[in-house]
Amino acid sequence: MLLTVYSKDDIRVKYILTNKEATESVQEEVKSIFYESVEKNNLDSNSFNLKVSDSDDGPDW
């Protein structure tokens, strides 16, 4: 996981999957789990920019 925090309203997270391809369905599953956790912790989901990939090709934001 790569994490960059520019401000409380601009938090960028990248998950790199090393055990499988980051197909669209896998990406959606990871995003769903992530945003469910954000909601459960009463955080603002709009503060987060999330990317799911199967390679570390840089943060891409």
| pLDDT of res. 49 | 95
The predicted-structure confidence for 6-48, as pLDDT tens digits, reads as follows: 999 999 999 999 887 889 999 999 999 999 999 999 999 999 9
Which long-range contacts does 54-60 make (Cβ < 8 Å, 24+ apart)?
54/16, 54/17, 54/18, 54/20, 54/21, 54/22, 55/16, 56/2, 56/16, 59/2, 59/4, 59/12, 59/14, 60/14
- The boundaries of the domain holding residue 44 are 2-53
| pLDDT of res. 60 | 57
b vs e for 30-44, b when ≥16 Cβ sit within 10 Å of the residue's Cβ?
A: beeebeeebeeeeee
| pLDDT of res. 59 | 54
- The verdict on residue 6 lying in a domain is yes
Please state the domain count of the chain: 1
Other beta carbons within 10 Å of 57 = 9
Predicted model pTM: 0.79
| pLDDT of res. 61 | 56
- The verdict on residue 61 lying in a domain is no
